[in-house]
Amino acid sequence: MQMTRGMRLREAKQYVADKLRVTPFDLSDPVVMTDVRNEHGFGRVHSYAISQPWQANQIEAKFNIARVLDVPINSVEKFKERTAPG
C-alpha cells in the first residue's frame, strides 16, 4: 500500500486491517496473522518441519492478496495475461 499506492503508514495499516477485519495492532502479531494469512491464502513463513503444501504460496499468494486487498499487483496481472487463452 505504501510502495505503489503511496499511502502513509497509519493509513496503510488501517486500510489493510479493515480489509482483513482485524485491528492495526494485530498486523504485527504473528499469533494473529498466521491464522489470518492461512485463512486468506496469503502465504506464510516457510518451514519444511511444518509443511502445509495445500496452502497458497508465492505467486498464488499474490493473487489472493490482490483480490482481498483490492490492489492491483503487476505480476498478478502479467500472469493472467500470459496464461489467458488465445
Residue 45 vs 86, nearer CB to other proteins: 45
Minimum distance, C-beta of residue 85 to other proteins, in the bound complex (Å): 20
Angstrom distance (rounded) from CA 33 to CA 56? 15
Site for other proteins, rule CB under 8 A = 2-9, 12, 24-25, 27-28, 42-43, 45-46, 57-59, 61-62, 65, 72-75, 78-79
CB of 9 to other proteins, least distance (A): 4
Helix, strand, or coil here: 14?
A: helix
- Can you read off the three cell numbers belonging to residue 18? 479493515
CA–CA dist 22, 17 (Å, integer): 5
In angstroms, what is the minimal distance from the CB of 80 to other proteins? 11
Q: Which three cell numbers stand for residue 4?
A: 505503489
